[in-house]
Homo-oligomer: A and B are copies of this chain.
Amino acid sequence: MTVTSIDTERPLRADARRNRARIIDAARELFAGEQPNVQMDDIARHARVGVGTVYRHFPDKEALMGELVRQRFELFNENLRHALADEHHGAFAALVGALRANVASVAEDAATRFAFMSGGERVFAHAASEMEQFMLLANELVGRAHRAGQLRNDFQASDIPMVMCGICATIGANKPDWDWQHHLDLILHGIQPPGSPPD
């Protein structure tokens, strides 16, 4: 929980702040799109900015992708917190809801999918603290479902990113007859305890 930014450092100039946001938005949009290979020049052009400006804000491509991943993990964490706050449904339903939301979220973010699939240590490093938070929340959610007897004994919090990685691959393969919702459903069935009632 250490704040790495020095408090004495000046705030960004107005135009720089604006451009930084545009770059991130452009990158997000392009990574959400069809083409698998998003290039720095593309991002710069789409943000209506020179490549040099992109490099002023991010030391390299991985850092930019890392920021996208970081922001995505913030969304993931919101989903997990929302599930933890849910009093109306059971512990398992809350977990399922969070997983569905996360998978839907990553479905529109090729950068994060890429990070999941490639191991991408460098990329993940930028999001280290959000990922740490993610695992804490996931542990909490999984623990609750276990205590309620609604989860297979051998399912752990660390299985969540693994399973998400698998579904990222299915999404990214972009095969018309591969239904990643269905893939997720199979897994959600699989993580219930043996002999669970039909759903």
Interface residue from B161, B183, B189 paired with A162 (Cβ < 8 Å) = B183
With both chains docked as a complex, state the minimum distance between the C-beta of A183 and any C-beta of chain B, in angstroms. Answer: 6
Residues of A that sit less than 8 Å from B by CB: 36, 116-119, 152, 154-155, 158-159, 161-163, 165-170, 172-175, 177-179, 182-183, 185-192, 194-199
Contact A169 B178, beta carbon cutoff 8 Å:
no
Chain B contacts for A155, CB-based, 8 A: 186
Chain B contacts for A158, CB-based, 8 A: 177-178
CA distance A137 to B117 in the complex (A): 29
Q: How many protomers of this protein does the assembly include? A: 2
Chain B contacts for A165, CB-based, 8 A: 166, 169-170, 173, 178
CA distance A178 to B162 in the complex (A): 6
With both chains docked as a complex, state the minimum distance between the C-beta of A41 and any C-beta of chain B, in angstroms. Answer: 22
Chain B contacts for A182, CB-based, 8 A: 154, 159, 162
Chain B contacts for A119, CB-based, 8 A: 172-175
